[in-house]
């Protein structure tokens, strides 16, 4: 099982992340669909905005982004995409709401557990049947957006410690003894 341990810098923000995490678990439930049952819509009282949401998937994804990412987290995500887009250059520009597409569709993992541990630490555990499972970099940024600072992970091959060199970049310090111990379990 893959994992990321983190430091909880703010308990209220951790609660906000738990809400996003619950959403991500729900949408991974077999049979889950974002589709709306149009027969259940009260067409007589629906607002123009609500009607637009029924038929525009991009608009619904943007709404989920604003619903699940408080303004402080949106600020971090915006800075990350600015940083990432500068690195991409002419390869393309990513929109901040694409983080929802990543979390909902491209981060191909089963979310197994989210726990607060003693004091100010926590762990998120996940599993995948493939590699690179949509990659972990953006998930690390999502954690940081909620002031959950990744400290260690097992990425499927190695247990390593995070040495954050900037807001979005880190060095990975391999922990070979911990890797042997964890893999042997």
**pLDDT tens across 90-99, in order?**
555 566 678 9
Please compute the mean of the pLDDT values over residues 52-78 and round it to a whole number. Answer: 90
**pLDDT 10s digits, 140-150:** 999 999 999 99
**Please, which residues have CB within 8 angstroms of residue 70's CB and are 6 or more apart in sequence?**
13, 16
What is the residue-averaged pLDDT of the chain?
89
Q: How far is CA 31 from CA 76, 141, 162, in A?
A: 33, 29, 36
Structure tokens at 176: 């070979």
In the chain, the N- to C-terminal Cα span, in Å, equals: 10
**pLDDT 10s digits, 105-140:** 888 899 999 999 989 999 999 998 776 666 788 999
Please tell me the distance from the alpha carbon of residue 165 to that of residue 168, in angstroms, as a whole number: 8
Q: Are strands 110-116 and 159-164 parallel, antiparallel or unpaired?
A: unpaired
Q: What is the pTM of this model?
A: 0.89
| Phi, then psi, of 77 in degrees rounded to 5 | -60, -40
| Phi, then psi, of 7 in degrees rounded to 5 | -95, 130
Task: With a cut of 60, say whether residue 21 has pLDDT above it.
Answer: yes
Please compute the mean of the pLDDT values over residues 19-29 and round it to a whole number. Answer: 96
pLDDT of residue 136: 87
Task: With a cut of 90, say whether residue 49 has pLDDT above it.
Answer: no
Of 79, 75, 74, nearest to 64 (Cα)?
Answer: 74
């Amino acid at each position: 099982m893959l994992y990321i341990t983190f430091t909880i810098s703010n308990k209220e923000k951790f609660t906000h992340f738990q809400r996003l995490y619950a959403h991500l678990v729900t949408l991974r439930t077999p049979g889950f669909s974002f589709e709306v049952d149009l027969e259940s819509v009260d067409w007589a009282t629906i607002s123009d905005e609500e009607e637009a949401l029924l038929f525009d998937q991009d608009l619904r994804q943007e709404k989920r982004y604003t619903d699940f990412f408080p303004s402080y987290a949106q600020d971090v995500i915006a800075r990350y995409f600015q940083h990432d887009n500068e690195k991409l250059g002419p390869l393309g520009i990513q929109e901040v709401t694409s983080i929802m597409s990543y979390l909902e569709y491209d981060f191909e993992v089963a979310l197994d557990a989210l726990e607060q541990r003693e004091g100010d630490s926590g762990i998120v555990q996940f599993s995948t049947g493939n590699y690179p499972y949509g990659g972990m970099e953006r998930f690390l940024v999502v954690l940081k957006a909620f002031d959950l600072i990744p400290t260690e992970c097992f990425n499927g091959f190695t247990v390593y410690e995070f040495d954050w060199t900037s807001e979005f970049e880190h060095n990975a310090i391999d922990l070979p003894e911990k890797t042997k111990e964890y893999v042997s379990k």
